[in-house]
């Protein structure tokens, strides 16, 4: 095993797998695609030549994604501004592998999405982890401390996972203006009214934006994309594995982002409305702190995280236990589900906390 020595101290990515009737643990969309859309997908999948490699540039899918982004943000991006990934996880891994020098650190605030740490550890890259304040917001002081360690890149998930809040725009701009490579991971931007960083990504060669289809109904097909200036996207594309986006994924992505757009947008709207309702109900329970959210989930601080996590499972509701992570003592993360699922979660909470 001596060749695997370097992996000895790595921990595998953990996810909640306890089978439960109501699954509110992975920030997926609660809505499956309609039968009509699935029917269209089947028709198109049948036409695939399964013995052939997919288009390595995914040209058609990139055009569709560019249109999708432009229609939402009133922009003018083209396929040349995009790098596609097998989920945005793959793009995170790619960036951590190619940006700057592997000997120099990457920086990110904690608590945040674990992949920045996991990928850094896999490639043996040093990390600069800096703290968010008590509201999970960035501070200039901590950013300055991180900058003093000369990282080659900063990763900001905004809205942040698992805290749900967006980061202070001016402080991200502050890092960008220092000329350090800055990744803004906008996995949850569809659930937020805050301004995206795409404009900055198209303007500066040290800024890229990451997006994913995973939180808006397509976690199964693994499709993420990076938005950057043409020159930047072109360089990063050289390091991407050639056929990382499968033929079926390309076909499904094209259909859903054209014929399925209305459906997708309705689902996003429904999740946003339910978020308001669930959070306001849970806020009524004494001794629970509900943190604000711009995402399709929210974080709550409870008297005893492990106990409540277990009690909810007994009532058939699975949420994500964050209790054991630094700065997240007794915190649980709850994804927004369908109305009926949210009702079951709310009912379970009121039963456990005896109506408040």
Choice from 224, 260, 305, 337 touching ligand PLP (CB under 6 A): 224
Place of tokens 């805050």: 194
Residue of closest CB approach to ligand PLP: 87
Residue range at the interface with ligand PLP (CB under 6 A); choices 87-95, 146-154, 252-260, 306-314: 87-95
Q: Closer CB to ligand PLP, residue 219 or residue 261?
A: 219
Quick note: the x/- pattern for ligand PLP over 9-28, rule CB under 6 A, is: ------------------x-
| Sign of the dihedral defined by the CA atoms of residues 253, 258, 264, 268, in that order | positive
Q: Which of 37, 146, 157, 218 binds ligand PLP (CB under 6 A)?
A: 157
Determine the interface stretch with ligand PLP among 128-136, 212-220, 273-281, 304-312 (rule: CB under 6 A).
212-220
Q: Which stretch binds ligand PLP (CB under 6 A): 38-46, 55-63, 84-92, 239-247?
A: 84-92
Number of residues forming the site for ligand PLP (CB under 6 A): 13
Min dist CB 311 to ligand PLP, Å, is: 26
Nearest to 201 by CA among 86, 81, 107: 81
Q: What's the closest the beta carbon of residue 144 comes to ligand PLP, in angstroms?
A: 24
Is the Cβ of residue 125 or residue 333 nearer to ligand PLP in the bound state?
333
161 near ligand PLP, rule: CB under 6 A = yes
> Residue 187, interface with ligand PLP (CB under 6 A)?
yes
Task: For residue 88, state whether it binds ligand PLP (rule: CB under 6 A).
Answer: yes
Q: Which is nearer to ligand PLP, 27 or 166 (by Cβ)?
A: 27
> According to the binding rule CB under 6 A, does residue 214 interact with ligand PLP?
yes
Among 212, 244, 250, 267, binds ligand PLP (CB under 6 A): 212
Which residues contact ligand PLP by CB under 6 A?
27, 87-89, 113, 157, 161, 185, 187, 212, 214, 219, 224
């Amino acid at each position: 095993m001596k060749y695997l020595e370097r992996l000895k101290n790595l921990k595998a990515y953990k996810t909640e797998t306890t089978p439960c009737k109501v699954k509110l643990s992975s920030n997926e969309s609660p809505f499956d695609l309609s039968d009509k859309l699935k029917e269209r997908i089947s028709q198109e999948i049948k036409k695939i030549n399964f013995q052939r490699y997919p288009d390595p540039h995914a040209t058609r899918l990139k055009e569709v994604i560019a249109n999708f982004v432009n229609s939402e943000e009133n922009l003018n991006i083209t396929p040349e501004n995009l790098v596609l990934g097998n989920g945005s996880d793959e793009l995170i891994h790619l960036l951590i592998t190619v940006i700057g020098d592997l000997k120099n650190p990457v920086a990110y605030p904690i608590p945040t999405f674990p992949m920045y740490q996991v990928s850094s550890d896999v490639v043996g890259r040093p990390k600069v982890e800096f703290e968010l304040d008590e509201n999970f917001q960035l501070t200039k002081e901590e950013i300055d401390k991180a900058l003093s360690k000369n990282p080659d890149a900063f990763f900001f998930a905004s809205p942040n996972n698992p805290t749900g809040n967006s980061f202070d725009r001016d402080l991200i701009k502050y890092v960008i203006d220092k000329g350090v490579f800055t990744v803004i991971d906008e996995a949850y931007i569809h659930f937020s009214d805050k301004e995206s960083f795409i404009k900055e990504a198209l303007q500066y060669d040290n800024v890229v934006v990451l997006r994913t289809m995973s939180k808006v109904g397509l976690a199964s097909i693994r499709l993420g994309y990076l938005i950057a200036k043409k020159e930047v996207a072109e360089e990063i594309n050289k390091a991407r594995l050639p056929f990382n986006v499968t033929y079926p994924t390309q076909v499904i992505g094209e259909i859903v982002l054209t014929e399925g757009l209305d459906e997708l947008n309705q689902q996003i709207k429904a999740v946003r409305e339910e978020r308001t309702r669930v959070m306001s109900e849970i806020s009524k329970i004494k001794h629970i702190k509900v943190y604000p959210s711009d995402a399709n989930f929210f974080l709550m601080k409870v008297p005893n995280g492990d106990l409540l996590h277990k009690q909810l499972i007994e009532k058939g509701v699975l949420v994500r236990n964050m209790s054991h992570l630094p700065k997240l003592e007794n915190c649980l993360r709850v994804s927004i589900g369908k109305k009926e699922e949210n009702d079951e979660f709310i009912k379970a909470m009121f039963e456990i906390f005896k109506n408040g």
